[in-house]
């Protein structure tokens, strides 16, 4: 029953270790929820401007693969 608040810029670490995420852009909360709710390809592109694919791991966590912008 402990809570840890961490500021992470690595979305894969956040997806692997966090139960809840808050994404802040320009000082405003733009997304909040579980990693599966927040870390979707559409949300990642909308907030970070990066194309990505999101995969479910066997431990029910996510991994994110960033796509080459030239593909």
Is residue 52 within 8 Å of residue 64, measured between CB atoms? yes
> Which ranges in the chain belong to alpha helices (H)?
11-17, 35-38, 41-48
pTM of the model: 0.86
- The rounded distance, in Å, linking the Cα atoms of 69 and 51 is 7
**Sequence-separated (6 or more) residues with CB below 8 Å from residue 57:** 63
Q: Which pair of structure tokens corresponds to residue 47? A: 């907030």
- The rounded distance, in Å, linking the Cα atoms of 36 and 26 is 23
pLDDT digits (tens, 9 = 90+) for 14-51: 999 999 999 999 999 999 999 999 999 999 999 999 99
């Amino acid at each position: 029953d402990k809570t840890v608040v961490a500021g992470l810029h690595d979305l894969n670490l956040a997806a692997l270790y966090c139960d809840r995420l808050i994404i802040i852009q320009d000082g405003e909360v733009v997304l909040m929820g579980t990693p599966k709710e927040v870390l979707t390809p559409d949300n990642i592109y909308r907030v970070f401007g990066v194309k990505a694919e999101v995969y479910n791991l066997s431990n029910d966590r996510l991994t994110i693969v960033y796509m080459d912008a030239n593909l």
